[in-house]
Structure 1
Amino acid sequence: MSKLNLLYIEDDRVAASGVLALAASEGDRVIWEDNGAAGLRRASAEPFDVIILDRMLPDTDGIAVTRRLREAGIDVPILILSALGRSQDRCEGIEAGADDYLSKPYQTEELIVRIRALHRRAGRRTHSAVLIHGAFECHLKARTAFRDNRYIALSPKEFELFRYFMENAGYAVTREMLLRDVWNMNFDPQTNVVDVNIGRLRRKLEEGFSGPALETIWGVGYRLTEGQ
C-alpha cells in the first residue's frame, strides 16, 4: 500500500492529534496547519496527495479555503471533516470544490478508506486513459467497456457505474459512495435506483460469460471481480 503525503488543516489540537496518530499508524506523512491562511500557503508550496480540511477555522471558513484552493488551480483531492453534517452543509462543501465530506464524529476506518479512495481515483484519472482490472478494461476517453476483449455496450449511466467500480477495483463500494459519486446525491432518496442500475450493469457484464462480474457483499455493498 502506497504511503501518502497529507495536509491537514484543523484548529482543534485534540482532533488533530487523533488524525496525526492515525496517519502515523498507516505510515503516512501529515503536515498539520491550524488555520486557513497557513494551510493555503502550505498547499501552494508543496504537492500533497490529499488535503483534509476542517470546516470551522479561526480565521476563515473551510468552504472559503476550498474555493481559494480551486481558484489557485490546486486540484488535489479535498476531504472536508466537519461537525456540520446536514445535507445542505455537505452540498455546500461539494459545490465549493471538495471531493468528499465526512461528518464528525466518524469512524477511523471510514476516514482511512475515504482518503485512499480519493487518492486512487485522482491518480487513475490523471495518469491513465485506460483502466485495467483482470479481464475488464475501461477506456475513459472513448467511454467504452470490454471484458476479455469483448465490447460491452453500456448506457451513459451504466458506464459511469462501471468506471467507478474500475476506479475502486478490489475494494467494496457502498450504496452511500455510489449515491454521492455517481448520482451526486448527498442523501439517500429512499428509492431502488442503485439496485436497479447495478442489476442492469451486472447482466450486461456477465452475459455470455461463466464467471460473475459484480459480487454482493451483504450489509456493505458491491465489489468488482477480476472477471476471470
Structure 2
Amino acid sequence: MNADTPCPAASVLLIEDDRKTVAYIEKFFEETPIRITTATHGTQALELAVSGTWDCIILDRRLPGMDGLTILTHLRAKNIQTPVLFLTTMDSIHDRVRGLRSGGDDYLVKPFALTELSARIKSLLRRHKLPLNTTRLVFEDVEVDLLSREVWRAGVKLYIQPQELKLLEYFMRNPFVLLSREMLLQAVWDIDFPIRTNLVETHISRLRERLGRDCSPLIHTIKGQGYMLRNQ
C-alpha cells in the first residue's frame, strides 16, 4: 500500500476549526471511500467523538471550547481506543511527545501534504486492525517472528541484533508513516528529551545493511524530516 493506493472505506471525524483546512481536506477525500464528518468546536467534537463510531479521528491541538489534548484525555479515560492523528501547527519535540504520550497514535504538522495525510490515515487503519499481541509481522518480502526473534527476507534468514530488531519492529508496525528522529528515539530507546546522538542514524545504517544493500530499499530517508518504511 502506498500513497496512491485507493483508500479503504472508513468513517473519519475531522476536528478542526480552520475553515480553509476543512475545505482542503473535504475536497481531497470527496471522491474516495473515506467519509469525512467535521466538528469545529471542542465541546461539540467531544460529544461526536464519544457518541459516534469512527474508524479514525483527525484532531487539531488548538480549538475553541476545549483543546485537543483534553478531548483525547477524555476519550482514553472512557476507554475509547479510536486511532487519533494530531494535525497541528505545534511542532516542537515537547509538543509531539506530549501528544503521543497522551494517547495519540500519530502526529502530523501543518502545513502538510494531502497525500501524506492520506497515507497516514491508511496506515492508522491498518495498524488499528493489527492486534498488539501479533507475533508475526510481514512487509513486502520481510518477515519478523517476534517470538523466536527471527527475521527473513525473501526466505533468507538474517542476523539482526536486538536493538535493530526493535527498530525494525517499530517500522513494520508503522508502514508508510513519516517517523521523525525524535519519535524513533522515544519509541525504541525511550529517550524523550533533546539529545545529541547518532543512535538513530547508526542503527538505521546497520539495519539497511542487514536487509541487504542489493535488495530493493525499504527504509527511506525523507530529507530534513525523518524516515519511512515503504516499498518505493
Normalising by structure 2, what TM-score?
0.76
Output the CA distance in 2 between the equivalents of 1:167 and 1:90: 19
Read off the aligned partner of 2:16 and give its amino acid letter. Answer: E
What does residue 160 of structure 1 align with?
A: 166
Output the CA distance in 1 between the equivalents of 2:140 and 2:20: 43
Output the CA distance in 2 between the equivalents of 1:216 and 1:142: 23
Q: 2:28 aligns with which of 22, 25, 46?
A: 22
| C-alpha distance after superposition, 1:18-53 (max 9, x if no partner) | 221122244310111222233223223333222101
- Comparing 50-59 with 79-88, greater Cα deviation is found at 79-88
Aligned length: 219
- By relative contact order (CA 8 Å, sep 6+), the higher-ranking structure is 2
What does residue 129 of structure 2 align with?
A: 123
What does residue 85 of structure 1 align with?
A: 91
List runs of 5+ in structure 1 lacking aligned partners. none
Q: 2:41 aligns with which of 17, 22, 35?
A: 35
Measured at CA, do residues 122 and 180 of structure 1 come closer, stay the same or move farther in structure 2, by a change above 3 Å? farther
Output the CA distance in 2 between the equivalents of 1:188 and 1:213: 33
How do residues 186-205 of structure 1 correspond to structure 2 at under 5 angstroms? 191-205=197-211
Normalising by structure 1, what TM-score?
0.77
What is the DSSP-based 3-state SS (H/G/I as helix, E as strand, rest coil) of the residue aligned with 1:166? helix
List runs of 5+ in structure 2 lacking aligned partners. 1-5
Say what the alpha-carbon RMSD is for the aligned residues.
3.2
> Do 2:151 and 2:158's aligned partners in 1 also have CA atoms closer than 8 Å?
yes
Q: Which has the higher helix share?
A: 1
Output the CA distance in 2 between the equivalents of 1:187 and 1:26: 39
What does residue 179 of structure 1 align with?
A: 181
Output the CA distance in 2 between the equivalents of 1:181 and 1:68: 24
% of aligned pairs identical?
30
1:65 CA displacement: 0.7
What is the DSSP-based 3-state SS (H/G/I as helix, E as strand, rest coil) of the residue aligned with 1:124? coil
**Which stretches of structure 1, 4 residues or longer, exceed 6 Å deviation after superposition?**
185-188
Measured at CA, do residues 224 and 37 of structure 1 come closer, stay the same or move farther in structure 2, by a change above 3 Å? closer
1:127 CA displacement: 8.5
